[in-house]
Structure 1
């Protein structure tokens, strides 16, 4: 795993997640409990509004808000892979330990593996969310 970005929210969180100007980001699983400061920071740093989950665009990043009870995580991850560019990745955001609808890290790891993804880093987003960066597994020869 690569180093874990520093925790916190506010200006700079999107940059610590590796987001930068020009990236096309699709948001999925948004609800009232999502971190609006992070969402605003993403729009500010990329210079683009986030695409809705029903977009036909090819995207660089999927920002996936997921809570225990939001359906089968494997299915949600597989659906999130479809719009990704070949070198795209998913930031899976789940409630932190101790919060309602917390998702066990072992459940994330198992679902990611079944969906053909690998976790490369983790981050803390504000007071309420944890983030896991998921990428497609590379096969020998450099193809997914």
Structure 2
């Protein structure tokens, strides 16, 4: 059992997601990574909320693929329920995978939506792009 824990991918930890956070998941489809989803839910101690929530959220996980639409517009929409110190993670397929979106394109779209891209992390077959409101970028690095 200890070996399994040591081998755990710690996706949520890499994204700064901890117990009792409210995490909103958007863009789910049959290609999303169930290991990432399960790790996040295990870490927060509950299920993630969807776009129907009226709660203030700490983190938005936005699964995004090339061809999913207008990213800047969707990012503008996802900040509405976000707490003042909240973070948006745009999860995209890694380089070479169908639906891959270059991090520079995500940063450009984030900027158009009033967000700043401050980090990109490897999450298995997905890349996570951490976005924050510009006034929070210094304190969350």
Question: Under a length normalisation based on structure 1, what TM-score does the superposition of the two structures give?
Answer: 0.86
| Range moving further from structure 2, 130-139 or 30-39 | 130-139
Unaligned runs of 5+ in 2: 1-6
CA–CA separation in structure 2 for the residues paired with 1:106 and 1:17: 19
Structure 1 stretches of 4+ with a deviation exceeding 2 A read none
The answer as to 2:97 corresponding to 1:113 is no
Aligned partner (choices 74, 80, 83) of residue 82 of structure 1: 80
> Which structure is higher in helix share?
2
Aligned to 1:32: 30
C-alpha RMSD of matched pairs (Å):
1.7
CA–CA separation in structure 1 for the residues paired with 2:64 and 2:8: 21
- Describe the superposition over 1:47-73 as per-residue Cα deviations: whole angstroms up to 9, x where unpaired: 011001221111000000000111101
Q: Is the 8 A contact 2:103 2:129 kept in 1?
A: no
Aligned to 1:4: none
RCO comparison, higher one (Cα < 8 Å, 6+) = 1
Q: Is the 8 A contact 1:93 1:130 kept in 2?
A: yes
Aligned to 2:95: 97
Question: Under a length normalisation based on structure 2, what TM-score does the superposition of the two structures give?
Answer: 0.88
Q: Number of matched residues?
A: 131
Unaligned runs of 5+ in 1: 1-8
Q: Is the 8 A contact 1:112 1:119 kept in 2?
A: yes
